[in-house]
């Protein structure tokens, strides 16, 4: 565990922030390569979209976290919603936020949303895979106790860790690595589909089907129920991703018939 990569005086370089930044850059690099290869959109459009996706991802992730924890943390002090530097985000909300901001960007710039999404989706999953390394380094998105699991991970005690103290020193499912593998495998599938694209939106719709399936499986082994929010035995991610899967399936069937 390396929540702090290095420290000079009072300045700390946080591993999570570094890996998230590298994830964004990795995703942008691959998306610009796809734009150059396909010619569906220009590299300039992809670069311009970059800041929109960052803003949408941060806002969406924060808003979903606040919605889950409203009564507990924000009802008495609503302005705390703006204090994002104090932590508290939900990655699924970031996807919804980035999706919405991307749609606005396309409307504003008169760009085909489906073409741009097909170009960017593989890079988005590559970026998430890189970002999950940061989750592992800081102990975020931790798993359930698994004392008999051969590949269980025991995080050492560390005051800078995001892992609650009660779970430090306990063998846990390495769910951060599960989600890293999930994202990278989906990236490989999307990159393969992108080179065989037969209709607009095909890559996007495959992502809308595969990501919920992978996330559903990973959620089973997560141990941070209080942080994620649980309703009727299912997490926030599981509830919100069910309609995403269904929409992706319906649109894929419709697109393939047209294609």
Q: What is the mean pLDDT of residues 37-60?
A: 90
Mean of pLDDT values over 7-35: 90
Q: How confident is the model at residue 15 (pLDDT cuts 50, 70, 90)?
A: confident
Q: Has residue 90 got a pLDDT over 80?
A: no
Strand boundaries in the chain, DSSP class E: 4-8, 11-14, 153-154, 171-172, 230-231, 234-235
pLDDT digits (tens, 9 = 90+) for 23-42: 999 999 999 999 999 999 99
The more confident residue out of 106 and 62 is 106
Residue range 179-193, pLDDT digits in tens = 999 999 999 999 999
Question: Residue 88 — very low, low, confident or very high, per pLDDT cuts 50/70/90?
Answer: low
Cβ–Cβ contacts within 10 Å for residue 253, how many? 11
Range with lowest mean pLDDT among 110-114, 144-148, 163-167: 163-167
User: Higher model confidence: residue 71 or residue 57?
Assistant: 57
Please state, for a pLDDT cut of 70, what percent of the chain lies above it.
Answer: 89
What 3-state class would DSSP assign to 15? Answer: helix
Task: Please name the residue that has the structure tokens 């996706």.
Answer: 53
> What is the 3-state composition of the chain as percent helix, strand, coil, each rounded to the nearest 5?
70, 10, 25
CA distance 202 to 157: 45
Mean pLDDT of the 149-164 span:
89
Determine the 3-state secondary structure of 253 from DSSP: helix
Instruction: Give residue 233's pLDDT.
Output: 77
Where does 106-178 show beta strands of DSSP type E?
153-154, 171-172
> What are the domain boundaries of the chain?
7-197
Tokens of 39: 């010619």
220-256 confidence digits (pLDDT tens): 999 877 666 677 778 878 888 999 999 999 999 999 9
Cβ contact 129:180 at 8 Å: yes
- The answer on pLDDT for 72 being more than 70 is no
3-class secondary structure for 1-43?
A: CCCEEEEECCEEEEHHHHHHHHHHHHHHHHHHHHHHHHCCCCH
């Amino acid at each position: 565990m390396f929540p702090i990569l290095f420290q000079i005086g009072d300045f700390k370089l946080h591993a999570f922030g570094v890996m998230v930044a590298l994830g964004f850059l990795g995703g942008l690099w691959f998306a610009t390569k796809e734009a150059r290869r396909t010619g569906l959109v220009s590299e300039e459009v992809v670069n311009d979209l970059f800041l929109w996706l960052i803003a949408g991802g941060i806002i969406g992730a924060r808003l979903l976290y606040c919605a889950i924890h409203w009564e507990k943390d924000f009802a008495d002090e609503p302005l705390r919603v703006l204090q994002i530097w104090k932590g508290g985000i939900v990655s699924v909300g970031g996807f919804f936020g980035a999706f919405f901001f991307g749609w606005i960007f396309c409307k504003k710039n008169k760009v085909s949303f489906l073409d741009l999404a097909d170009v960017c989706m593989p890079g988005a999953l590559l970026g998430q895979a890189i970002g999950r390394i940061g989750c592992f380094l800081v102990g975020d998105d931790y798993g359930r106790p698994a004392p008999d699991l051969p590949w269980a991970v025991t995080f050492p005690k560390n005051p800078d860790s995001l892992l609650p103290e009660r779970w430090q020193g306990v063998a846990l499912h390495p769910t951060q690595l599960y989600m890293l593998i999930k994202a990278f495998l989906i990236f490989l599938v999307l990159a393969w589909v992108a080179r065989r694209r037969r209709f607009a939106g095909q890559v996007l719709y495959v992502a809308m089907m595969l990501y919920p399936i992978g996330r559903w499986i990973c959620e089973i082994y997560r141990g941070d129920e209080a942080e994620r929010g649980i309703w009727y035995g299912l997490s926030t991610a599981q509830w919100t991703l069910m309609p995403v899967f269904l929409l992706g399936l319906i649109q894929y069937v419709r697109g393939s018939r047209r294609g």
